[in-house]
């Protein structure tokens, strides 16, 4: 496994975006998993680099240092219209060609688009820039409703903070969700934000009192708590004294995802956690997570993680345990 993660910054690098991979990969977290990543902050242009905030910076790494990276991250550039240098573009293409993960945060997607890496693929970016990305890269299926997408080794993530979710997802792919959770806890953010960025898009009409928001959050909590009993959208609707139709609409609006799909995602999460941190047989795990059958859980694992539940456990169960996810 290639532990080298490189983030590329050029003139006008967005400070926050740049900081995300530094925070997730760049700190020594070998107490969580050893070895941790080897991180490089690479200057795409001749330093000093002037950031969007106005300070200048320099790092020891240049484009040549991308050559052996397993993961190449492009954080947001301040101006999406500013073309990336041919050298950078070639480096990104080469990275993808040799099977490295190529990742963009926020408007970094434009650089990937310029490199032709989004052609024919699904991608996302900051919702304010989605239309411009569509225009710039017409053969790309731009989905501005999700936090991040992967398509064939090319990862793109939505606005600003979604970059954190993206990076944690990479950690989860490499080391499982227990480790990703631990990192999330370190950074002091909630480990998962399921669903799209719809909840962060400005609503044309201002929503009513926030008590409504709270009650919806409570509904989600209750749903999570009763995953094991195989709760359905219908039951959820009736406990919330809502019609199924309205529940779906509310879900789509606030979570950005239809309820059953969200439920499947939550079941999946719970199952992953149980597989990692307990010795419960797979059948029990499926039941505890509320899957209709073991076969159904297995199918979902295969389609989302390309790995069967048993193999998932085999990969991550052996890791040093950091508690089951809730222990400080």
Site of interaction with DNA (CB under 7 A): 205, 232-234, 242-246, 248-249, 252, 258-261, 264, 291-293, 295-296, 299-300
Output the CA–CA distances (angstroms, integers) from residue 4 to 30, 41, 67, 68, 150, in the order listed. 14, 11, 10, 7, 19
Nearer to DNA, 232 or 278 (CB): 232
Q: Which is nearer to DNA, 163 or 290 (CB)?
A: 290
> Residue 293 and residue 64: Cα distance in Å, rounded?
50
Please say which residue, 97 or 222, places its beta carbon nearer to DNA. 222
* CA 189/CA 182 separation, integer angstroms: 10
Please state the closest distance from residue 241 (CB atom) to DNA, in A.
8
Are 136 and 142 in contact, with CB atoms under 8 Å apart? no
Q: CA–CA separation, 221 vs 283, rounded Å?
A: 25
What are the φ/ψ torsions at residue 120 (nearest 5 degrees)? Answer: 75, 10
Residue 200 or 216 with smaller CB distance to DNA: 216
State the minimum distance, in angstroms, from the CB of residue 305 to DNA. Answer: 14
Cα angle 320, 326, 328 (rounded to 5 degrees) comes to 75
Between the CA of residue 151 and those of 88, 117, 119, 260, 326, what are the distances in Å? 21, 10, 11, 23, 31
Q: How far is the CB of 246 from DNA (least distance, A)?
A: 3
Residue 54 burial (10 A CB sphere; 0-12, 13-18, 19+): exposed
Give 94 or 305: the residue with its C-beta nearer to DNA.
Answer: 305
Distance in Å, CB of 205 to DNA, minimum: 5
- Least distance between DNA and beta carbon 257 (Å): 8
313 close to 275: Cβ distance less than 8 angstroms: yes
Q: How far apart are the first and last CA of the chain?
A: 29
Residue among 153 and 258 whose Cβ is closer to DNA:
258
Which CB sits closer to DNA, 68 or 141? 141
Distance of closest approach, residue 25 Cβ to DNA, in angstroms:
31
As measured in angstroms, the least distance from the Cβ of 34 to DNA is: 37
Q: Show the beta-strand stretches assigned E in 20-132.
A: 38-43, 49-50, 56-57, 61-62, 71-74, 101-105, 122-123
């Amino acid at each position: 496994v290639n532990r080298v993660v490189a983030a590329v910054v050029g003139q006008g690098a967005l400070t926050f975006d740049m900081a995300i991979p530094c925070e997730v990969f760049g700190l020594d977290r070998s107490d969580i998993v050893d070895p941790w990543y080897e991180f490089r902050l690479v200057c795409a242009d001749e330093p000093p680099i002037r950031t969007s905030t106005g300070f200048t910076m320099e790092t020891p790494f240049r484009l040549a240092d991308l050559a052996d990276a397993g993961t190449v991250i492009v954080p947001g550039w301040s101006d999406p219209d500013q073309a990336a240098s041919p050298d950078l573009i070639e480096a990104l293409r080469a990275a993808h060609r040799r099977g490295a993960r190529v990742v963009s945060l926020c408007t970094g997607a434009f650089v990937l688009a310029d490199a032709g890496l989004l052609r024919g693929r699904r991608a996302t970016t900051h919702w304010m820039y989605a239309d411009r990305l569509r225009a710039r890269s017409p053969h790309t299926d731009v989905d501005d409703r999700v936090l991040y997408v992967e398509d064939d080794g090319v990862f793109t993530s939505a606005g600003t903070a979604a970059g954190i979710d993206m990076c944690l997802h990479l950690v989860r792919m490499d080391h499982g969700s227990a480790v990703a959770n631990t990192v999330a806890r370190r950074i002091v953010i909630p480990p998962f934000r399921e669903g799209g960025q719809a909840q962060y898009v400005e609503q044309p009409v201002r929503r009513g009192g926030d008590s409504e928001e709270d009650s919806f959050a409570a509904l989600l909590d209750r749903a999570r708590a009763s995953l094991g009993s195989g709760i359905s959208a219908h039951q959820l609707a009736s406990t919330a004294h809502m019609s199924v139709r309205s529940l779906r609409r509310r879900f789509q609006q606030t979570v950005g995802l239809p309820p059953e799909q969200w439920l499947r995602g939550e079941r999946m999460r719970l199952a992953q956690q149980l597989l990692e941190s307990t010795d419960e047989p797979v059948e029990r795990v499926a039941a505890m997570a509320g899957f209709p059958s073991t076969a159904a859980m297995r199918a979902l694992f295969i389609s989302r993680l390309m790995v069967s539940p048993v193999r998932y456990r085999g990969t991550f169960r052996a890791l040093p345990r950091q508690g089951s996810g809730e222990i400080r």
